[in-house]
Chains A and B, each alone.
Chain A
Amino acid sequence: MTLIETRPTEAPPDEEPPLYANRVKVYPKAVSGPFRKLKWAVLIVCLAVYYLAPWLRWDRGPGHPDQALLIDMEARRAYFFWIEIWPQEVYYLTGLLILGAIGLFLVTSLLGRVWCGYSCPQTVWTDLYMWIERLIEGDRNARIRLDKAPWTASKLARKTLKHALWLVIAALTGGAWVMYFNDAPTLARDVMNLNVSGGVLFFAALFTSTTYLLAGWAREQVCTYMCPWPRFQAAMFDRETLIVTYEAWRGEPRGKHRKGEAAKSLGDCVDCGQCYQVCPTGIDIRDGQQLECIGCALCIDACNVVMRKVGLPANLIAYDTVANQQARASGGVSRWRPVRPRTMIYAALLLVVGAAMLLALALRSTLDINVLRDRNPLFVTLSDGSIRNGYTIKILNKAREERSFVLTVDGIPSGEMQLAGHESAAESAKLTVKPDTVGTFRVFLRAPRASLQTESLPITFGLKETATGETARHSSVFVGPEH
């Protein structure tokens, strides 16, 4: 059996088919309606947050950055309002990404690709770029005509202006990105004085060029070819997910309605083509749910304008579920079931991970101790026969004030502790750590040979803050010669 059935009547083409497909340029038409309004609103909020967030200030006291959102690579700190994260706490970021992913799953299973259609940066910046394009070159038909027209001074001027404006927005976007990694007002001043480091320049240029290329040139190709999300988001869909649908059962057979003629033989679709003319990815929703559809619902707005004009029921293209469409096609009642096992599982996961994150954040300690045992040499035999082990103690003081601690050790019966650089040995040591730093100390433990019963003795270092009594512990071993 051949897997591909061929029509014997179809003559094979004379020439070889192309191996590379040219992009069919999309000229989305302007549209107005509730979904377009919503899209503008989301766009404004997203852009405002992106451009303005680095300028928010948050007082952390002298000597500390006062930027509310800051990732300080050089000092290895990340700031989020009242939270300060050290590099070893990057799991908070991981948790945030997991929350984002589960949130995306939940929203997708409920409302389809609203992330793609409204708030994805690719969508937001492409929309902004199209708005500028429309301002300068006119709407769909004018743009098609302009592209076909021969090059004139006017065409050159329009195209130059468009690309110049695009580049300005791209530069602002790249510029805003580096603000999250530097003190925004200082950086802005440095830019004014043309005194910017190579690193800042590189990343600003990188995000300038990606913004310009992706939003100006690549556009829907990013969603179709580059982005992995459209490829597997269908796994979150089911029959109860709200998606952009075409009511084929009442739309077909499509055709032009002549005035006065009873449209009995035809469906509600007047085949005006508005739905695919406004589509930012250039597809026809009447072909059914497809990979390229980003769920922006602009075709719903476009169709409803036409339906109102011709006096037919609205929402021929609608935000609806597959289950509803089938129910209504057979005369049933439409209903929406947001509460389903799938959404409940996503919501429960979201709650669990969110609660775990909050708990971890609430219980976050401002004190930590790490003990690195000397491995070379493992131990040292001293003149009197006693055994000495060396340890490097690292005390993480995540608070913004200097703190002093008492270091003790448990598990070594007749051991003595000596801080490197100090003459005398004692049972404990007093240590002081500067604010927001890691204090490193060398400590020697010494025990008489006779007191060591095993080759490796488990011990525990205990750290206690003098003022508050806050403690931290770290286990290690004391190694002696073979018995």
Chain B
Amino acid sequence: MPTKIEKDSVTGTQTTGHEWDGIKELNTPLPTWWIYVFYATIIWSVGYVIVYPAIPWFTGHTTGVFGYTARGDVAKQIAAARAAQGEWRAKIEQASLEDIAKDPELQAFALAGGKTAFADNCAPCHGTGGAGGKGYPNLNDDDWLWGGSLKQIYATLQYGVRADHAETRQSDMPRFGVDGMLNREQVNDVAEFVLSLSGKSTDAAAVKRGQPLYVENCVPCHGEKGEGNRELGAPKLNDHIWLYGGDKASVAQSVHAARRGVMPAWSGRLDDVTLKQLAIYVHSLGGGQ
């Protein structure tokens, strides 16, 4: 408590009565309206507690007379956004993929929706930028296992690859090594020959030994020059893109045990409008054909 309130002779102002090592403080009072503002904030806070969720309790919290929740607010905003998009979604549903790609406005809408859907559903495997990784195809390049046209991308999205869907894209490369169709040296020679298709082999003798084995076992699907076959999902072997690595060991492992990557079927998980938007988006990444 202030005890030594006195009047300062210089200013004629009273002191607060506090003293610190001989230093005393003049009492220069705040304007009264200032404290009214403080009271106003207290009254405001009482109203706030009544109106909005405020006090936590063991089983939850007070809900407030407005019944406001931040989650409910988001749900409302999403519903409003859906309603606002309704017209465009209907148009996407009606239009063919080619028509969407031709109409700049529809395409812009599809790209925006596709981008979000891609980040939510595809990015875990293919990466946020669609660059993929080992075993997960890069969607930006011009190399497609099952085709890079709008229709083909759309079909892959719908039915998946080796997925549990009646129309899924299905192809099973034999496990040449594991199942004893080729012995260790033969697997090695075939791998060396496969590397020679893109000019990367280092062992001419192995290439020579591998050639008849390749013709016998691989040509039906991968083609004479390793050009691949999109009908069968057989990758090109004569280019610079390797899904599981282009070094000798990786290629030999592919021959030995096969890879058989899987992509889920998205039909049934995502609605058709979203699938169309995704097809348009993936097609736009740079490799669409």
Residues on A close to B: CB < 8 A? 1-7, 10, 12-13, 16-23, 218, 221, 225, 374-377, 380-385, 388, 390, 420-421, 442, 444
Cα-based distance from A5 to B241 in the complex (angstroms): 90
Whether A23 contacts B33 by the Cβ 8 Å rule is yes
Whether A383 contacts B141 by the Cβ 8 Å rule is yes
Whether B32 contacts A23 by the Cβ 8 Å rule is yes
Cα-based distance from A18 to B35 in the complex (angstroms): 13
Residue in B14, B24, B131, B241 whose CB lies within 8 Å of A13:
B14
B67 at the interface (CB under 8 A from A): no
Given contacts A4-B8, A13-B14, contact A420 B284 (CB under 8 A): yes
Cα-based distance from A384 to B34 in the complex (angstroms): 75
Residue in B15, B31, B101 whose CB lies within 8 Å of A4:
B15
B9 at the interface (CB under 8 A from A): yes
Whether A382 contacts B142 by the Cβ 8 Å rule is yes
Whether A376 contacts B286 by the Cβ 8 Å rule is no
B47 at the interface (CB under 8 A from A): no
Given contacts A10-B7, A12-B6, A13-B14, contact A380 B286 (CB under 8 A): yes
Q: Which residues of chain B have C-beta atoms less than 8 A from A376's C-beta? A: 127-129, 131
In the complex, given contacts A17-B16, A388-B141, what are 20 additional A-B residue pairs having Cβ atoms less than 8 angstroms apart? Answer: A1-B22, A5-B8, A7-B9, A16-B2, A16-B5, A17-B27, A19-B27, A19-B29, A20-B34, A23-B31, A374-B129, A380-B131, A380-B138, A380-B287, A381-B240, A382-B142, A383-B143, A383-B240, A385-B239, A442-B284
Whether A20 contacts B5 by the Cβ 8 Å rule is no
Cα-based distance from A383 to B130 in the complex (angstroms): 17
Could you write out 5 A-B pairs with CB less than 8 Å apart? A17-B14, A18-B29, A20-B35, A377-B131, A382-B141
Residue in A1, A6, A221, A381 whose CB lies within 8 Å of B7:
A6
In the complex formed, the residue of A with least CB distance to B30 is: A20
Q: Which residues of chain B have C-beta atoms less than 8 A from A16's C-beta? A: 2, 5, 17
Cα-based distance from A21 to B32 in the complex (angstroms): 5
Given contacts A376-B128, A376-B129, contact A383 B239 (CB under 8 A): yes
B266 to A: closest C-beta gap in Å = 22
Cα-based distance from A295 to B258 in the complex (angstroms): 91
Q: Which residues of chain A have C-beta atoms less than 8 A from B239's C-beta? A: 383-385
- Those of B47-87 within 8 Å (CB) of chain A: none
B23 at the interface (CB under 8 A from A): yes
In the complex formed, the residue of B with least CB distance to A2 is: B22
A-B complex: 8 closest residue pairs judged by Cβ atoms: A376-B129, A377-B131, A21-B29, A383-B239, A385-B240, A380-B140, A20-B32, A17-B14
Whether A20 contacts B129 by the Cβ 8 Å rule is no
Q: Interface majority SS on B: helix, strand, loop or mixed?
A: loop
Cα-based distance from A375 to B140 in the complex (angstroms): 13
In the complex formed, the residue of A with least CB distance to B240 is: A385
Cα-based distance from A382 to B8 in the complex (angstroms): 86
Q: Which residues of chain A have C-beta atoms less than 8 A from B17's C-beta? A: 16
Cα-based distance from A10 to B9 in the complex (angstroms): 9
B184 at the interface (CB under 8 A from A): no
Whether A381 contacts B141 by the Cβ 8 Å rule is yes
- Those of B111-168 within 8 Å (CB) of chain A: 127-131, 138, 140-143
B236 at the interface (CB under 8 A from A): yes
Whether A6 contacts B16 by the Cβ 8 Å rule is no
A155 to B: closest C-beta gap in Å = 23
Whether A383 contacts B142 by the Cβ 8 Å rule is yes
Q: Count residues of B near A (Cβ-Cβ below 8 Å).
A: 42
Given contacts A19-B30, A376-B129, contact A5 B9 (CB under 8 A): yes
Q: Which residues of chain A have C-beta atoms less than 8 A from B131's C-beta? A: 376-377, 380
Cα-based distance from A186 to B284 in the complex (angstroms): 43
Q: Which residues of chain A have C-beta atoms less than 8 A from B31's C-beta? A: 20-21, 23, 221, 225
Cα-based distance from A344 to B170 in the complex (angstroms): 85
B91 at the interface (CB under 8 A from A): no
Cα-based distance from A13 to B34 in the complex (angstroms): 25
Cα-based distance from A16 to B33 in the complex (angstroms): 20
Whether B27 contacts A12 by the Cβ 8 Å rule is no
B25 to A: closest C-beta gap in Å = 9
Q: Which residues of chain B have C-beta atoms less than 8 A from A377's C-beta? A: 127, 129-131, 138, 140
Cα-based distance from A10 to B10 in the complex (angstroms): 13
Whether B241 contacts A383 by the Cβ 8 Å rule is yes
Whether A388 contacts B24 by the Cβ 8 Å rule is no
Q: Which residues of chain B have C-beta atoms less than 8 A from A225's C-beta? A: 31, 34
Cα-based distance from A22 to B2 in the complex (angstroms): 22
Whether B240 contacts A3 by the Cβ 8 Å rule is no
A394 to B: closest C-beta gap in Å = 15
B208 at the interface (CB under 8 A from A): no
Cα-based distance from A23 to B35 in the complex (angstroms): 12
B33 to A: closest C-beta gap in Å = 7
B4 at the interface (CB under 8 A from A): yes
Whether B10 contacts A4 by the Cβ 8 Å rule is yes
Whether B33 contacts A218 by the Cβ 8 Å rule is yes
Whether A21 contacts B30 by the Cβ 8 Å rule is yes
Q: Which residues of chain A have C-beta atoms less than 8 A from B23's C-beta? A: 3
A476 to B: closest C-beta gap in Å = 17
B160 to A: closest C-beta gap in Å = 24
Residue in A2, A20, A374, A384 whose CB lies within 8 Å of B240:
A384
B270 to A: closest C-beta gap in Å = 23
Cα-based distance from A289 to B131 in the complex (angstroms): 72
In the complex formed, the residue of A with least CB distance to B24 is: A4
Cα-based distance from A10 to B30 in the complex (angstroms): 25
- Those of B168-206 within 8 Å (CB) of chain A: none
Cα-based distance from A375 to B10 in the complex (angstroms): 69
B14 to A: closest C-beta gap in Å = 5
- Those of B251-289 within 8 Å (CB) of chain A: 284, 286-287
B113 to A: closest C-beta gap in Å = 17
Cα-based distance from A19 to B101 in the complex (angstroms): 73
Residue in A6, A17, A19 whose CB lies within 8 Å of B9:
A6
- Those of B220-240 within 8 Å (CB) of chain A: 236, 239-240
In the complex formed, the residue of B with least CB distance to A440 is: B108
Q: Which residues of chain A have C-beta atoms less than 8 A from B141's C-beta? A: 380-383, 388
Cα-based distance from A225 to B33 in the complex (angstroms): 11
Q: Which residues of chain B have C-beta atoms less than 8 A from A6's C-beta? A: 6-9
Q: Which residues of chain A have C-beta atoms less than 8 A from B6's C-beta? A: 4, 6, 10, 12
Q: Which residues of chain A have C-beta atoms less than 8 A from B138's C-beta? A: 377, 380
Residue in B16, B29, B128 whose CB lies within 8 Å of A20:
B29
Q: Which residues of chain B have C-beta atoms less than 8 A from A5's C-beta? A: 8-10
Q: Which residues of chain B have C-beta atoms less than 8 A from A18's C-beta? A: 29
A166 to B: closest C-beta gap in Å = 18
B125 to A: closest C-beta gap in Å = 15
Q: Which residues of chain B have C-beta atoms less than 8 A from A20's C-beta? A: 29-32, 34-35
Residue in B14, B236, B284 whose CB lies within 8 Å of A383:
B236
Residue in A3, A21, A221, A442 whose CB lies within 8 Å of B24:
A3
Whether A12 contacts B286 by the Cβ 8 Å rule is no
Q: Which residues of chain B have C-beta atoms less than 8 A from A13's C-beta? A: 5, 7, 14
In the complex formed, the residue of B with least CB distance to A375 is: B129
Q: Which residues of chain B have C-beta atoms less than 8 A from A22's C-beta? A: 32
Q: Which residues of chain B have C-beta atoms less than 8 A from A17's C-beta? A: 5, 14, 16, 27, 29
